[in-house]
A and B are shown apart, each in its own frame.
Chain A
Amino acid sequence: NAGVTQTPKFQVLKTGQSMTLQCAQDMNHNSMYWYRQDPGMGLRLIYYSASEGTTDKGEVPNGYNVSRLNKREFSLRLESAAPSQTSVYFCASTKDWPDTQYFGPGTRLTVL
């Protein structure tokens, strides 16, 4: 099993550009999550999907949209990137709440 995979690993955008971060898990997990981590800080929840077909806002949802494409895939979209969105983005999944979360390797995003 690959676990949780994320693409791309690195991305540089200009202010106002859009992009989609992809996340997929092959563990048949029900819940999936998007976090961002700023330097020297913990993770902050952007959006999550408790089950296929549902999505909910987390702590810092402004400027982002998500799609739970199917049970395996959960994407995060930045419609109009801003420098404040420069961060490392992590996707995670869990079989059932509140079990262990499994994390992807992260996407390092820089917005100029």
Chain B
Amino acid sequence: SQQGEEDPQALSIQEGENATMNCSYKTSINNLQWYRQNSGRGLVHLILIRSNEREKHSGRLRVTLDTSKKSSSLLITASRAADTASYFCATDGGRRALTFGSGTRLQVQP
């Protein structure tokens, strides 16, 4: 079963708008990571947030982590058409490997 589950499954916005994706997980974690996947390509790492951190920024990306609610959110500000992709959260689910959610498909309309 998937450790992380993203919400929504699909999101369509206009260029310039903000996009927010959420991730919920089930067990305790050491860190949570977000990845992006363009259609037909491999995954690219976006950001890692450790369990003792509450918020982290990287360029137009903002990630929050609430370990009490076992949830995380990824905010992309001022979205661009090039941000169109699937976004996955991943957690360390008890073994030395990541467990991925099923992803949010983001479509940014120009």
Give the B-binding residues of A (Cβ under 8 A): 4, 31, 33, 35, 40-45, 48, 50, 56, 58-59, 90, 92, 97-106
Contact = CB atoms under 8 A, between A and B. Distances in A.
A98 B103 contact: no
A64 to B, nearest CB: 15
A106 B41 contact: yes
Looking at B33, B42, B48, B88, the one whose CB has the most chain A CB atoms below 10 A away is B42
30 contacts: A4-B42, A31-B96, A40-B102, A41-B102, A41-B103, A42-B2, A42-B102, A43-B43, A45-B98, A48-B95, A48-B96, A56-B95, A56-B96, A58-B95, A58-B97, A90-B42, A97-B92, A98-B30, A98-B92, A98-B96, A100-B48, A101-B33, A101-B43, A101-B98, A103-B43, A103-B44, A104-B42, A105-B42, A106-B41, A106-B42
Contacts of A106: 41-42
A105 to B, nearest CB: 5
A42 B96 contact: no
Interface of B: 2, 4, 30-31, 33, 41-45, 48, 88, 90, 92, 95-103
Contact of A98 (B2, B31, B100, B102): B31
A56 B103 CA distance: 25
A53 to B, nearest CB: 14
Contact of B97 (A4, A48, A105): A48
